């Protein structure tokens, strides 16, 4: 897995970050959680809440023991803007001054499921049109690269 770092503390931070994310499928996390991911060699689920709650205790993905991803492939700006209103995956107030994005290898995109498919069994919140779920943990071999963004 490749790691790249960006320092976006100046200028149009949101545009710069979004330019990196558009067209990709990624998991977003705090830098401290990223350190745990590296130690365990996997993105683990947060069904037990041991990593805290970046988004919501009532997340469909968390309740279903899944890892949440954002899918920005083929999404219009309107859909992306609406998803940011649900969870701003570029907000340093949520993630801290170091935000880490982990990009899923395209060979594994087919393993993702829509929260809509499990909503009846695991009722909760999810981000329509962009949130996708991976059942169970995600080994780092399924991550092509990570980027750390300083904001």
DSSP character string of 60-119: HHHHTTEEEEEE-TT--HHHHHHHHHH--TT-HHHH-SEEEEEEEPGGGGGG-B-GGGTT
Longest dimension (CA), the chain: 44
Query: Does domain 2-150 sit in CATH 3.40.720.10?
Result: no
Query: What pLDDT, on the 0 to 100 scale, is given for residue 125?
Result: 83
Domain ranges of the chain: 2-150
SS3 51: coil
What was the pLDDT predicted at 54?
62
Q: What is the pLDDT of residues 65-116, one digit of tens each?
A: 999 999 999 999 999 998 887 778 887 777 777 889 999 999 999 999 999 8
N-term to C-term CA, the chain: 23
């Amino acid at each position: 897995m490749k790691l790249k770092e960006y320092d976006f503390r100046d200028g149009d931070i949101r545009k710069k970050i979004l330019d990196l994310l558009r067209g990709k499928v990624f998991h977003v996390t705090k830098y401290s959680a990223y350190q745990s991911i590296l130690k365990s060699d996997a993105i683990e689920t947060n069904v037990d809440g041991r990593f805290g709650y970046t988004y919501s205790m009532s997340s469909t993905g968390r309740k279903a023991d899944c890892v949440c991803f954002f899918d920005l492939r083929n999404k219009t700006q309107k859909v992306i803007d609406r998803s940011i209103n649900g969870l701003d995956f570029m907000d340093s107030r949520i993630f801290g001054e170091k935000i880490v994005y982990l990009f899923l290898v395209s060979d594994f995109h087919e393993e993702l499921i829509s929260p809509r498919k499990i909503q009846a069994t695991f009722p909760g919140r999810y981000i329509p049109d962009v949130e996708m779920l991976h059942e169970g943990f995600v080994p780092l071999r399924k991550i092509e690269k990570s980027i750390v963004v300083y904001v």
